């Protein structure tokens, strides 16, 4: 019982015990983080400043960018700091917060992607009713539902996991606090609450994936009726990357949570976790927005205004 009351923190594992590889990991993660940070911040800023983007699609993109920004910031900076400082400790409260925030962002993003697929379905398959169906009130309700769903799952996962007793090793076999890794170091013999929460989470992921797939099937059938080959290829080039990232996001998450627990460290655990916590926030800005023609034009105008303002400042205040 004494061991159960003195747990004040945990230790996260590094990617390698070799100093050079730790530096390499820190550099790679820093580059990934900066790409995700700048991409999502840019999208969030462009949509906020440009009145042309005050539409349902860009409203959801703005929420998605903010979620991606939060998701990548929950785990990556801590992992970089650990590699550079050789200090892999994380406090008990820090671990709880990390798990709660990660689950909040992951569940919210999954629900938001579902709402976005519904928005695209209505826009392409029912264009005459789009403004009536996807009004501002509906968009706000869908966004609020995604955040509330994420918050609910964050509470369920963190509460069910951290009410378990922890004894013995405090070493978490992961670069952040995740449920499967925490279960490995728990000395409880019953994980009923955690397993019920996992079933709920996997059910949500499965439902959202099926709904998104059905929506895109209807979208594809409508797109195939477009007479021009150029417009069809443009639509497919936009839709297919969405589905690929979604499948990576959902599939790797489900595998990570359902795969049998192992006593020894596994590189597969770390790789899988990267695919559902680091890869989507990095690729989403490229797939959803930066390939968009309107976003490119807005970016060019923003850059032109920046240089114009700079020229005026130099002219009047040399």
The CATH number assigned to the domain holding 63 equals 1.20.1070.10
Single pTM value for the model: 0.85
Residue 242 lies in a domain: yes
**Contact in structure between 173 and 250 (CB atoms under 8 Å):** no
How many angstroms separate the Cα of 167 from the Cα of each of 3, 6, 93, 190, 263? Answer: 6, 9, 17, 14, 15
Residue 313 lies in a domain: no
**Termini Cα distance of the chain:** 72
What is the C-alpha separation between 221 and 180, in angstroms, rounded? 40
Strands 9-12 and 171-172: parallel
Residue 48 lies in a domain: yes
Residue 280 lies in a domain: yes
- The burial of 221, by beta-carbon neighbours within 10 Å (0-12 exposed, 13-18 middle, 19 or more buried), is given as exposed
Residue 190 lies in a domain: yes
pLDDT of residue 237: 66
Residue 287 lies in a domain: yes
184: nearest Cα among 194, 196, 172: 172
What is the C-alpha separation between 288 and 291, in angstroms, rounded? 7
Q: Which helix (H) or strand (E) holds 89?
A: strand 89-91
Per-residue pLDDT of the chain (318 residues; tens, 9 = 90+): 444 445 677 888 767 677 778 888 889 999 999 999 998 998 888 888 877 778 888 899 899 999 999 999 999 998 888 888 877 888 889 999 999 999 999 999 999 999 999 998 998 888 888 999 999 999 999 999 999 999 999 999 999 998 888 876 788 888 888 888 888 888 877 788 888 998 998 898 899 989 998 998 888 888 888 777 766 776 666 677 778 778 888 888 888 888 776 655 567 778 888 888 888 888 888 877 666 676 667 667 766 655 544 444 444 445
What is the C-alpha separation between 151 and 129, in angstroms, rounded? 32
Query: If you ran DSSP here, which 8-state letter would residue 259 be given?
Result: S
Residue 107 lies in a domain: yes
What DSSP letter does each residue of 154-176 carry, written as one string? HHHHHHHHHTS-B-S--EESSSS
Query: If you ran DSSP here, which 8-state letter would residue 91 be given?
Result: E
Residue 316 lies in a domain: no
Q: Which residues pair with 171 in a beta bridge?
A: 11
- Domain total in the chain: 1
Query: If you ran DSSP here, which 8-state letter would residue 13 be given?
Result: P
- Expressed as residue numbers, the domain containing 107 is 2-308
pLDDT in tens, 239-268: 777 787 788 888 888 888 887 766 555 677
């Amino acid at each position: 019982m004494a061991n159960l009351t003195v747990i004040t923190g945990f230790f996260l594992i590094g990617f390698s015990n070799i100093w050079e590889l730790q530096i390499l990991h820190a550099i790679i993660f820093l580059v990934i983080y900066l790409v995700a940070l700048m991409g999502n911040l840019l999208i969030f800023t462009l949509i906020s400043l440009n009145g042309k983007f005050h539409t349902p699609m860009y409203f959801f993109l703005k929420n998605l960018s903010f979620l991606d920004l939060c998701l990548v910031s929950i785990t990556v900076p801590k992992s970089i700091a650990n590699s550079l400082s050789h200090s892999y400790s994380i406090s008990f409260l820090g671990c709880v917060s990390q798990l709660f925030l990660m689950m909040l962002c992951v569940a919210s993003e999954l629900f938001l992607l579902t709402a976005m697929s519904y928005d695209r379905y209505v826009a392409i398959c029912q264009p005459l009713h789009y403004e009536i169906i996807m009004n501002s009130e509906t968009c706000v309700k869908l966004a609020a539902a995604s955040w509330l769903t994420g918050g609910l799952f964050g509470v369920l996962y963190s509460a069910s996991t951290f009410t378990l007793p922890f004894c013995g090793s405090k070493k978490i076999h992961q670069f952040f606090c995740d449920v499967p890794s925490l279960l490995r170091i728990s000395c409880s013999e019953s994980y009923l609450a955690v397993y019920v929460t996992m079933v709920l989470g996997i059910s949500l992921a499965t439902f959202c994936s099926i709904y998104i797939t059905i929506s895109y099937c209807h979208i594809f059938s409508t797109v195939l009726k477009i007479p021009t080959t150029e417009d069809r290829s443009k639509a497919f080039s936009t839709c297919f990357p969405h589905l690929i990232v979604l499948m990576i996001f959902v599939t790797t998450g489900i595998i990570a949570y359902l795969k049998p627990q192992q006593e020894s460290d596994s590189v597969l655990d770390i790789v899988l976790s990267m695919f559902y916590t680091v890869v989507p926030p990095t690729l989403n800005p490229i797939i959803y927005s930066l390939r968009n023609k309107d976003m490119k034009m807005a970016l060019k105008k923003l850059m032109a205004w920046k240089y114009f303002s700079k020229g005026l400042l130099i002219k009047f205040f040399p």
